[in-house]
Amino acid sequence: MNRTFPILFVLLIFAACSSQRDEPEQRKKYTIAQFMDIIQMSGGAFSPDETRVMVNTKESGIFNAYEIDLATGEKKQLTHSDTDAIFGQSYFPNDDRIVYTSDKGGNEITHIYVRTPNGTSRDLIADSTAKAGFYGWSYDKKFLYYGSNARDKRFFDVYKVEVDGLGEAPIYTSSVVYKNTEGLDPAAISRDERYVALIKTVTNKNSEMYLLDNQTGKVTHLSPHEGDVNYAPMYFSMDGTKLYFLTDEGSEFMYIASYDIPTGKREKVQEEPWDIMYTYESRNGRYRVVAVNNDARTEMKIYDQSADGKLITIPGLPEGDITGVNISDSEKLMVFYVSSSQSPANLFLYNFETGEVKQLSDNMTKEIDPSDLVAGEVIRYASYDGLQIPSILYKPQGIRKSEKVPALLWIHGGPGGQSRLTYSAMLQHLVNHGYAILAVNNRGSSGYGKTFFAADDKKHGDVDLKDCIEAKKYLATLPYIDTTKIGIVGGSYGGYMVMAALAFAPEEFDVGVNIFGVTNWLRTLKSTPVWWASFRDALFNEMGNPFTEDSVALYNKSPLFHAKNIKKPFIVLQGSNDPRVLLVESDEIVKAARENNVPVEYVLFPDEGHGFLKKENNIKTSQEILKFLDKYLKGLPDDQAGEQVAVSNEG
């Protein structure tokens, strides 16, 4: 009997199955409109009766305030702006008035408004040129605190507003709690208003902490030290005898410490192997909340101080970070968000008494299969001097065996920002359309210790750019990366890094995407908003002082003055109302490059500032970026570049 055919047949079948396994399942492609058809949500202020919670979402096309009924989950829109973003801050302590903040077209001149239940709103800030911020309520709930630079545009004073009953035309009478004449910014107020904790930023890695006694008028320096140490007041104890603060004194990372006001004694309270980002106590001091920046993700710790500091665990939550924790005044309820690189933030409710957990939102669109989203992977690579650079890698799904895909470096803003494991519609859109992304936390990024944070001071456009160039060597170790097609993308400071790469290392990257990036440091630093006065010196210390001999170095690191070196195509996206990176910055770099016959695309948004808040503008931004990358990085013809379909590409 001839057995050759059956054996050969089995081998062929096995080989076919193996070949099929080598060919990964093709994933659907989605439009940016689908990726942005999520509900961006933030905030979580409880109503006075704790039956509702106020949030901010962009579902109307721009941020507005909404409230969610905690029993039914029903959502109700409270504000109805279609021009300027509105951010709800708080309900009034004893009625349904709300406090919200808003600026004009992204100009960052934020004002504070009170909206009554009948829909009428009143601006609490009479000076149209003044900037203000909501600071919260006094412990007795009789006063609203806010900060404003109405008196002196350089500094923010603290005001309190006494509020009467609801009425048709409420009366709001304000008085000064703290007059800021020296750039000592308020950070915390004791419950009895006797003490105000103040902070003075000296440099990006050095600050001072003070205590104002309102009874005596005395200001005490709490942080005499040598060298570079940062301090950040957090809150006062219930009885007002202790100030809790963060510091990195004697440590690479920020930890919690306390200062005993009567004795002056300082004690370390809690430290972690990462920076503690913030901490606070619930209204009556039962719970203490601590947020830790654990390797590009937020680790939230909540302690029950009535049970010997027991760490509270909440079982059954989806995978992701817990953020935005807010505990109700009764200390019975808590709202918080859970998010990840594969999921936008969703709001949850936790009942401390029953242990019940309830999801209040489902903010992911039903049009996207969650399995088509890509999770970020934290990796590290060695830079030119051996320094380990933490980054987050996003690998497209459905890559076939031996296939090579283009890659992008994603550079965060700042300087001093951090790419984190959070959901980004723009990033997921690019990965979904076949681009690998490496989000680089170059030296100078926050979250990795103060030495790492300070490693690029006055070396911007040099050592941080070298970190980005070295990222290409890491990408070259990945078998699926086409190293002949690598671009660089960034916004704000990240946009500067894009232009620095194209101007100072013109052969390294094939394209650039500059989203409102600095191109002329001399102008940017000289034209910083007036309300930045209290930390302008710190910015000058980090970047260089444009009014001194540092101006030479700032000129040399400004891409605008070296535009003749730019060879590779780039796209610029800019808001006309940007007070930080002025419109002229982008105008001039585009003009200079075009005069040298470099392909440049320019997208201008007349109704945006530093960061685009309108959904339609966010969609256009990503559409234009994808079209540009498909044309200049992938090399696709115009009729194939950008979004083609929003359906499956299977088969």
Percent of the chain residues past pLDDT 90, beyond the cut = 77
**Structural domain containing residue 253:** 183-271
Residues contacting 204, CB < 8 A, separation 6+? 416, 453, 454, 457, 538, 539, 541, 542
Do 565 and 438 lie in a common domain?
yes
Q: Reading across the β-sheet that carries 231-236, which strands appear in turn?
A: 231-236, 242-247, 255-260, 266-270
Token code pair at residue 371:
């399995």
Do 543 and 417 lie in a common domain?
yes
Give strand ranges (E) for 252-296: 255-260, 266-270, 275-281, 287-294
Number of C-beta neighbours around residue 482 at 10 A: 15
The larger pLDDT score, comparing residue 96 to residue 23, is at: 96
Do 402 and 266 lie in a common domain?
no
CA-wise closest residue to 261 among 189, 226, 213: 213
Q: What pLDDT digit, counting tens, does each position of 531-568 carry?
A: 787 778 888 888 889 999 999 999 999 999 999 999 99
Q: How many CA atoms lie within 13 A of 174 on its CB side?
A: 16
Do 523 and 404 lie in a common domain?
yes
**C-beta of residue 492 within 8 angstroms of C-beta of residue 516:** yes
**Looking at the domain assignment, is residue 392 inside a domain?**
yes
Check residue 168 and give its pLDDT.
53
Token code pair at residue 1:
């009997």
Q: How many CA atoms lie within 13 A of 215 on its CB side?
A: 5
Do 267 and 400 lie in a common domain?
no
In this structure, what CATH number is given to the domain that contains residue 530?
Answer: 3.40.50.1820
Q: What is the DSSP letter of 465?
A: H
Check residue 497 and give its pLDDT.
96
**Looking at the domain assignment, is residue 603 inside a domain?**
yes
User: Structural domain tally of the chain?
Assistant: 2
Structural domain ending residue among the three candidates 271, 305, 329: 271
Q: What is the DSSP letter of 635?
A: -
The rounded distance, in Å, linking the Cα atoms of 552 and 205 is 24
Do 385 and 505 lie in a common domain?
yes
**Looking at the domain assignment, is residue 578 inside a domain?**
yes
**Looking at the domain assignment, is residue 265 inside a domain?**
yes
> At residue 420, does pLDDT exceed 80?
yes
Structural domain ending residue among the three candidates 271, 291, 326: 271
Choice among 1-15, 174-188, 471-485, 497-511 with the minimum mean pLDDT:
1-15
Percent of the chain residues past pLDDT 70, beyond the cut = 93
**Looking at the domain assignment, is residue 316 inside a domain?**
no
Number of C-beta neighbours around residue 394 at 10 A: 23
Do 262 and 378 lie in a common domain?
no
Q: Nearest-5° angle of CA 37, CA 413, CA 348?
A: 45
CA-wise closest residue to 29 among 340, 398, 421: 398
Do 551 and 405 lie in a common domain?
yes
Q: pTM (2 decimals)?
A: 0.90
**Residue 224, Cβ density class (10 Å: 0-12 exposed, 13-18 middle, ≥19 buried):** exposed
Structural domain ending residue among the three candidates 251, 271, 291: 271
Do 512 and 384 lie in a common domain?
yes
C-alpha 336 chain-centroid distance: 17
Q: What pLDDT digit, counting tens, does each position of 263-309 carry?
A: 999 999 999 999 999 999 999 999 999 999 999 999 999 999 999 99
Residues contacting 622, CB < 8 A, separation 6+? 32, 35, 36, 425, 426, 429, 430
C-alpha 112 chain-centroid distance: 22
CA-wise closest residue to 290 among 298, 300, 281, 282: 300
The rounded distance, in Å, linking the Cα atoms of 503 and 563 is 6
**Looking at the domain assignment, is residue 393 inside a domain?**
yes
Q: What pLDDT digit, counting tens, does each position of 216-275 carry?
A: 999 999 999 999 999 999 999 999 999 999 999 999 999 999 999 999 999 999 999 999
**Looking at the domain assignment, is residue 378 inside a domain?**
yes
Do 263 and 386 lie in a common domain?
no
**Looking at the domain assignment, is residue 86 inside a domain?**
no
Do 248 and 384 lie in a common domain?
no
Give the residue-averaged pLDDT of 323-328.
95
**C-beta of residue 274 within 8 angstroms of C-beta of residue 292:** yes
